[in-house]
Amino acid sequence: MFDTDADLHGISISLLDDDDVTRAYLSEALRQRGADVDEAADGFEALAMIRKRATANRPYHAVIADLVMPEMSGFEFIESLRRRSWGQDIPIIVLSAHSEPGNVIRCASHNVQGFVVKPVDIDVMAKKLLSVAPMV
């Protein structure tokens, strides 16, 4: 069984979700388990954060990205991230209330390592992070 108090110390995460409540809940829950979490409310902000850390040679260990967002959808964000040298290998976990098979298949075709359905079960998310984040 999964340890509900999973230790995420040393794991840095870029969290992208346009919903303030979801972002605050998930960010706080991950921080309580020791993760270093930076938040972004849109894809443009997230890309800038990820680029800044990558060019400073401190890349994130994982990105959590919502699929349904205004201005830049989660898929557009993922495609944009994957086109950049500093975003090709970073593990991505998609967060979505829409778990249709087409979304899951499309995520797999974009080299997404995990898919978590909303409402988020923090234990499931922590387990996904531990499985995809490079050893720290």
Residue the block writes with tokens 């829409």: 98
Does 1 have pLDDT greater than 70? Answer: no
Q: Are 62 and 92 in contact (CB under 8 A)?
A: yes
CATH of 12-130, one of 3.40.50.970, 3.20.20.80, 3.40.50.1370, 3.40.50.2300: 3.40.50.2300
The more confidently predicted of residues 39 and 116 is 39
- Can you give the residue ranges of every domain in the chain? 12-130
Band of pLDDT at residue 118, cut at 50, 70 and 90: confident
Where residue 31 falls among pLDDT bands split at 50, 70, 90?
very high
Q: Any idea which of 35-49, 55-69, 119-133 has the lowest mean pLDDT?
A: 119-133
Q: In the 8-state DSSP scheme, what is residue 1?
A: -
Residues 100-131 as b/e (b if ≥16 CB within 10 A, e otherwise) read eeebbeebeeeebbbbbebebebbebbbbbbe
